[in-house]
Every structure is written in C-alpha cells, then in structure tokens.
Amino acid sequence: MADGKEFTYEEVSGHSSKKDLYLVIHDKIYNASSFIDEHPGGEEVLLDVGGQDATEAFEDVGHSDEAREILTGLLVGKLKRKPGDPQPRDLDSQLKSGSGSKPATDGAGMGVMLYVVVLVGAALAFGAYKYMETQKDK
Ligand code: HEM
C-alpha cells in the first residue's frame, strides 16, 4: 500500500507544482494533481498550499464528508515529522471543545453582557435616586 510511505517536510515541499502537487492534511500526504482541475474551490487555493501543511486551510472551509472521501483516494503517504518542523495548530482539540476557529460569537456574547451590566446599573441608580427622594420628603 502506498500509504505506508513516509515523507519529510523537505520532501513534500518539493511537490508544489500543478502537475506534482502534494498537500499535508492532518499529517497525511495527499497528491492533489489529479483532482486540482475538478476542485470546486478552484486550483488557486490548492496551489497556494502546495507542498505545505494545508490542514488549517482545508478545515477552515468546513469541507464535506464527500470531500474527505476524495481525500482518501489521493493519499500517498504520511508525514515524518522532524524536530524543528512547523507544527500544525491543534485543530482537533479546538473542534472538540466546540469553540471552533471563530471566536466571533464570544465577542458578541461579551457585547451583550456589557449591555446587560449597563442596563442593570442604570436601573439600580434610578432606584436609589427614587429611594433618596422618598427619604427627603419625610
Ligand atoms: C486535496 C484536498 C482537497 C479536496 C479533496 C477538496 C475537495 C473539495 C470539495 C469536494 C468541495 C465541494 C464542497 C464540499 O464537498 O465540501 C470543495 C470546496 C471548496 N474547497 Fe476544497 N478540497 C481540498 C482542499 C482545499 C484547500 C486546501 C482549500 C484552501 C482554502 C480549499 C478550499 C475550498 C473552497 C473555498 C471551497 C468552496 C467552493 C464553493 O463552494 O464555491 N479546498 N473542496
């Protein structure tokens, strides 16, 4: 089986042309040359990550199961990581924790919290003001 073959980053980086295009996704090596003309996302994006770690680019798009099936057909081997090689971002743990790669919702959540705090503060201040007024009349 071809998937037993191991490539170092250096070897993979030599395969970055359209006719000879290797991508690293989750530490596996895929030969995308036969697929590049059919890629719905276009050839440009694949060439951009040719010979490099494309894990982040691939996962950011949120490719379908069908796309992942195509991938298995393109497998040529796995990555032999050497000390000093670039490390991929820990996507798996991000996906598991559910936060994904878009913390934008957290930002929105913070905005809403701030709004609530201001409103509650205003209500309390108003209540205190009214209370002081009733005290004054006595
Ligand atoms: C060999 C690796 C890849 C395979 C087999 C592949 C396969 C596919 C497939 C089948 C689709 C159609 C939608 C879907 O089923 O999810 C798609 C869409 C797309 N792909 Fe890839 N892809 C690969 C790598 C990449 C990479 C590295 C990028 C980099 C950004 C990328 C960007 C996109 C984009 C932007 C779309 C959406 C196109 C649209 O909806 O107009 N793909 N890909």
- The finding on whether 21 has its CB within 6 A of some atom of ligand 1 is no
As for the ipTM of the complex, it is 0.95
* For ligand 1, atom 39: residue with the closest CA: 41
In the prediction, which pLDDT does 88 show?
66
pLDDT digit string, tens, across residues 22-42: 999 999 999 999 999 999 999
Q: Would you say the pTM of this structure is higher than 0.90?
A: no
Would you list the domain boundaries of the chain? Answer: 2-94, 103-137
Fold exhibited by the domain 2-94: Flavocytochrome B2; Chain A, domain 1 (3.10.120)
Average pLDDT over residues 9-15: 94
Q: How far is the CA of 70 from the centre of ligand 1 (A)?
A: 10
Task: Label each residue of the chain as H, E or C.
Answer: CHHHCEECHHHHHCCEECCEEEEEECCEEEECCCCHHHCCCCHHHHHHCCCCECHHHHHHHCCCHHHHHHHHHHEEEEECCCCCCCCCCCHHHHHHHCCCCCCHHHHHHHHHHHHHHHHHHHHHHHHHHHHHHHHHHC
User: Is the pLDDT at 103 greater than 70, yes or no?
Assistant: no
Nearest atom (ligand 1) to Cα of 25: 2
- The finding on whether 64 has its CB within 6 A of some atom of ligand 1 is yes
Nearest atom (ligand 1) to Cα of 71: 5
